[in-house]
Every structure is written in structure tokens, then in C-alpha cells.
A = this chain, B = another copy of it.
Amino acid sequence: MADLAQLAGVSKITVSRALGDSPLVNPETRERIHALAREHDYKLNISARNLRLRRSHTVAVIVEMKPSTDRTMFDPYPLLLLGGISQELTAAGYSVLLTTRQGASAAAVQAADGLILLGQGVHQDAVRRFDKLRLPMVVWGAHTGNDAHVVVGSDNRLGGAVVARHFIALGRRRPVFIGNPSHPEIFERLNGFVDALAVRGIKPLLMRRDEFTLDSGMDAVHSLHARKVGFDAIFACNDLLAMGAIRATLDLGRSVPADVTVVGYDDMPLGASFLPPLSSVRQDWQEGGILLARKVLALIEGEPASSESLPVSLIVRST
């Protein structure tokens, strides 16, 4: 920058102002300096600026990344979140620092201006750890009612309720819920489901399954059958589980949707091509990412931000 200043015959600070489009410099001077900067391919030193401004214009995104058949960052959907986040932060001139929980101890994270936490397991365990960094922080997940921090998530209670109402409208009396309610988000879905069914005096059966795979869904239905439990509706908290459940149901000689109604969750593209095309609850991940980004940015600017739920919608196809 000093060199540029010499070339332009002005002082460093004038160059700094010119490049920052400050109104303090003469428009002519500014143009001249801009031209010079382009010509000499001058690049601002971000580290120096960060040091001086005490801001990094960076938001750290911390994801869960354990390798398992459980839901992980490798599901495509949480990645849509990242897409939304990235889009919004980039537009605001911020960068995304991607980290795993393990890597988050790496110094760079504390240099961030804000934090976004993704991944369901995070909630109780890790949030406190990151709380100590005293950075603006936003968490993706389920609302617990009395959150100490800003939570953005899709409205899982509503998701459960919508499916319940769908079942009620179809006159179903013996619904089953398949999934792992120890995930806070899924616990909420179950709650919404149970409460909305209770209005009609219906009590669903909970089939706990920890793996979110097609095989696990098949297994759930087979074990229902083995235990001679009757059912006429299945709410699977993931599309793969739902597809497995459907396949097993068909295997058992029962019809979908005539005998059994099945609804999945996430509305993955594949579901629409499944035979029969899968009904599912859709959440708008990308919008969620955008919202997460906006909230951190607000917090960083010192503005208030509150937790928020995103609507979900039931896509009824042929199951």
C-alpha cells in the first residue's frame, strides 16, 4: 500500500481511503488510485486489516462429522443448509470457515466473528463449549422452549402434526411412528404427532429405530408383523425408513396406500420416483441456511435476533 501511495504521489492513508471508497477522498484521486491498484494487481492484505479492525469477516460453521449410518453431514440435506449459509454470508462480504467439532479447537475458530452450529447431537453436549468463546452464535436444531441461544430449525412439531391430521382425515386408527426420538428434532416430530392424534383419542405405536436406512425401515415393519401388531399407517421420520417400510409392507402382502398409509420425511428427490411415489414432509433447508446466516449477521452487528421455526409442507403422493 505504501508503494501504491508513492506511485500515486499521496500518503498511505489516502490510498486506504480511496480503496475503501471513503467519501473523504476526492473522486478524481480515488479513481486514479483505483486504476493504479488494478494496473499493478494490488491485493489488500486481509490479515493486516483483520488485525487493525479486530474483525475477521468470517463465520465459523461447525458440523457434526462422525462416520456412521446415523444422520451425518454427508446427508445431502444438511448440505443444503451449508449452501444457504454460504450464499447469504458471501453476499454480505463474509467468509465461511468450515470445521468439525474436533477441529473447532483449532485457533482459527476463535478468530471468527460468529458461529453457526449444525448437527443434532450438538445440542446439549457441545453448545456450552462454544458458548465460552463468547461469540455471536446460532444453532440449527430443535427448539427446547427455553433456549439460552438463538435456534433456527424447521417446525418439527408442525411436521408431526401435519402427518397426524393427514392420517386422521384418512380415517386411520392404528398409526406407527418409526425413528429415533433421542434426536431432539425427531423427538419434536413425535410430540407433534402424538399430540395431534390425541385429539381423536388415538395413540400411535413407537417403533424405535436408530439407523436411518432402508433396511432399518424394512426391519421395523417385519418386527411389527412378527409381534402380530396391527397397523394401518406409518410415519417414518426419514424417507429411507419410509421406503423400507413400504417395501416390507408390500412383501407382507398388504397394499400401500389402500391398507397402509405411509409418509416419510425430507422429501428426497428419489422419493418421487419410488414405486409407489412416496408422500413426505418437506422442509426448506436452503431457506434455513439463509436464515441462520441472517441471524448471526444480525448478532454480529449487535442487533437482537430471536429463535425461529420454518414452516414445513406435506407433499401427498401415492402412499
Residues of B within 8 A of A90 (CB): 99-100, 102-103, 106
Please tell me which one of the listed residues B46, B48, B74, B247 contacts residue A79 in the complex, with CB atoms under 8 A apart.
B74
Residues of B within 8 A of A180 (CB): none
> In this assembly, does A15 line the interface, its C-beta being within 8 Å of a C-beta of chain B?
no
A residues 86-142 near B (Cβ < 8 Å) are 86-87, 90, 93, 95-100, 102-103, 106-111, 132
Binding-face segment, A32-40, A191-199, A253-261, A268-276: A268-276
Bound: A83/B110 CA distance, A:
21
Given A79-B74, A106-B90, the answer on whether A96 and B98 have CB atoms closer than 8 Å is yes
Bound: A308/B270 CA distance, A:
33
Taking a contact as CB atoms under 8 Å apart, the answer to whether A46 and B108 are in contact is yes
Please tell me which one of the listed residues B96, B110, B273, B275 contacts residue A213 in the complex, with CB atoms under 8 A apart.
B273
A residues 44-99 near B (Cβ < 8 Å) are 44-48, 50-51, 54, 56-58, 61, 65, 67, 69, 73-76, 79-80, 82-83, 86-87, 90, 93, 95-99
Given A90-B100, A273-B244, the answer on whether A108 and B95 have CB atoms closer than 8 Å is yes
**CB nearest neighbor in B for A269:** B213
Taking a contact as CB atoms under 8 Å apart, the answer to whether A75 and B76 are in contact is yes
Taking a contact as CB atoms under 8 Å apart, the answer to whether A99 and B108 are in contact is no
Minimum C-beta distance from A119 to chain B (A): 13
> In this assembly, does A228 line the interface, its C-beta being within 8 Å of a C-beta of chain B?
no
**CB nearest neighbor in B for A46:** B111
> In this assembly, does A190 line the interface, its C-beta being within 8 Å of a C-beta of chain B?
no
Residues of B within 8 A of A98 (CB): 61, 82, 86, 96-98
Residues of B within 8 A of A50 (CB): 47, 50-51
30 A/B residue pairs, CB under 8 Å, sorted by A: A41-B132, A43-B107, A43-B110, A44-B107, A45-B111, A46-B107, A46-B108, A50-B51, A58-B97, A65-B83, A65-B86, A73-B83, A74-B76, A74-B83, A76-B76, A86-B103, A87-B100, A93-B106, A95-B97, A95-B106, A95-B108, A96-B97, A96-B98, A96-B99, A97-B97, A97-B98, A213-B273, A215-B273, A240-B270, A247-B275
Extra contacts, 14 of them, besides A95-B106, A96-B99 (Cβ < 8 A), are A43-B107, A45-B111, A57-B108, A58-B108, A65-B87, A86-B99, A90-B99, A90-B100, A95-B99, A97-B97, A97-B98, A214-B270, A247-B275, A270-B270
